[in-house]
C-alpha cells in the first residue's frame, strides 16, 4: 500500500489562493475589493482659522464602490494649540447612503489631555496639532455610490478661532 503525501500539494493550493486573493484585493482600481492601503480623505479648510457659525454644519461627500469590506470613518481636526480655548467640541454626525438611508451618531473632540488620556494628538508643526476620532467604526457600506457625512458642531461659541481644517478619512477597518 502506497502512502500518499498531501502536504506539498495542499501547501501549493493554499499559496496560490493567498496570492490570487492578494492580487485581486489590492488591484489599484478594483471596484469589488479594497486594498489594505485604501484611503479617502476629504478636507475642509477654515478661512482665517475660524470655525465660524456659518460653518456649524459641514458636508463631506465620498464615493464607495466596495460593499464587501469594512471601513472606519474618522474625523481629523487640525488646530493651533496656542489659539484654541475649547476643551470639548461636541458633534452630531449623520451618514447618508446613496439610497437615502441615514445613520446618526454623537461624538466629540475632547481636546483636554488631562480629561482624555486616550486622546490621539499629533503635533504637526509649531503649535499645530491634529486630533482624530473614529465616528463610524467597522462600517460596511451596503450600497455603492456617493455617501454624505454631515458634521454638526454643537459648540457654545459662534466663532471659534485657531482651527485650520477638518477632514473626513475613510480607511479599511483593521
Which pLDDT does position 120 carry in this prediction? 59
Which pLDDT does position 123 carry in this prediction? 66
DSSP string, 50-83: B--GGGSEEEEEEEE--SSSEEEEEEEEEEETTT
pTM: 0.75
Decide if pLDDT at 87 tops 50: yes
Higher pLDDT: 122 or 78? It is 78
CA 89 to chain centre: 18
d(CA 14, CA 10): 6
Q: Among the CATH numbers 2.160.20, 1.10.287, 1.10.10, 2.60.120, which is that of 34-172?
A: 2.60.120
d(CA 91, CA 107): 5
Which pLDDT does position 6 carry in this prediction? 42
pLDDT in tens, 9-56: 443 433 443 333 433 444 444 444 456 678 999 999 999 999 988 899
Decide if pLDDT at 167 tops 50: yes
Which pLDDT does position 62 carry in this prediction? 96
pLDDT in tens, 99-158: 999 999 999 888 876 666 655 566 666 788 888 889 999 999 999 999 999 999 987 777
Amino acid at each position: 500500500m502506497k502512502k500518499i503525501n498531501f502536504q506539498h500539494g495542499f501547501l501549493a493550493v493554499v499559496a496560490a489562493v493567498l496570492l490570487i486573493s492578494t492580487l485581486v484585493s489590492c488591484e489599484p482600481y478594483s471596484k469589488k475589493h479594497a486594498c489594505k492601503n485604501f484611503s479617502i480623505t476629504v478636507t475642509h479648510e477654515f478661512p482665517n482659522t475660524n470655525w465660524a457659525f456659518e460653518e456649524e454644519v459641514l458636508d463631506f461627500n465620498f464615493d464607495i464602490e466596495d460593499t464587501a469590506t469594512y471601513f472606519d470613518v474618522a474625523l481629523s481636526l487640525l488646530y493651533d494649540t496656542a489659539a484654541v480655548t475649547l476643551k470639548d467640541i461636541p458633534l452630531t454626525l449623520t451618514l447618508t447612503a446613496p439610497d437615502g438611508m441615514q445613520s446618526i451618531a454623537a461624538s466629540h473632540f475632547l481636546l483636554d489631555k488631562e480629561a482624555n488620556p486616550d486622546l490621539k494628538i499629533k503635533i504637526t508643526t509649531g503649535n499645530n496639532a491634529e486630533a482624530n476620532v473614529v465616528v463610524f467604526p467597522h462600517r460596511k457600506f451596503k450600497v455603492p455610490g456617493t455617501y454624505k457625512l454631515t458634521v454638526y458642531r454643537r459648540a457654545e461659541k459662534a466663532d471659534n478661532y485657531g482651527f485650520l481644517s477638518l477632514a473626513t478619512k475613510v480607511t479599511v477597518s483593521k
